[in-house]
Each structure stands twice: as structure tokens, then as C-alpha cells.
Amino acid sequence: MAKPVSITVSHELGREGAVARLRDGIDRVRDRLGLVKMQLVEERWEGDTLHFGVAALGCTVRGRLDVEQTLVRVEMMLPWVLAMFAEKLKIGVEKQGQILLEKPRA
């Protein structure tokens, strides 16, 4: 049974700042995915929304990342094979999102 996963990460960058930070940080995300045997197979921006696909354990998970003024929302559907990893995935995405969207120190 597929499992829906929804993750939100708050930020103080504004919509444009958060989009810029995410676009600039996508290579770091790609590198980190490779460390855990995952691969970014789709990356398509439509305005403030990133449509993505990540391959892991023979499955491709597709989802979307919507950037709003004070938060980023990630929505995806995990196939049953990956559903048991949902909580670990959620924690990892939240942590990496916070790192990418951390407000620069003055």
C-alpha cells in the first residue's frame, strides 16, 4: 500500500529567497542522495514549484515541492516497498531543508 508523505519546513527568506536558495542548493542535495544510494532522476521547476523524482531501491518516487512565503511544503507518495522508511525519510528531508533554508547570519 502506498503511503502519502507531507513535510513542511518553515523559513524566513521570503518566497523568492527560498526559491533561489533551493535552486542553488540542488547540487548539494544530489550529492547527499548519492551517499545513500539514491538518485535525483527528475528536476523540473514551474514557477515556485519543483516537480522531482528520486530513484531508490528500484523504485522512483515522484513528488512536488511548493515554496510559499514562510514555508516549503513537500508532497510525495511512497510505494509500499519504501513506506517503512517514511519516518526516517521525513526526518532527513526536514533536516536538509532547514540547512538549505537557514537564514544567513548578519
Domains of the chain: 3-95 (3.30.160)
Q: Read off the pTM.
A: 0.86
Q: Which residues contact 32 (CB under 8 A, 6 or more apart)?
A: 96
Dist. CA 16–CA 84, nearest whole Å: 35
CA 69, distance to chain mean position in Å, is 17
pLDDT in tens, 29-64: 888 887 788 899 999 999 999 999 999 878 899 999
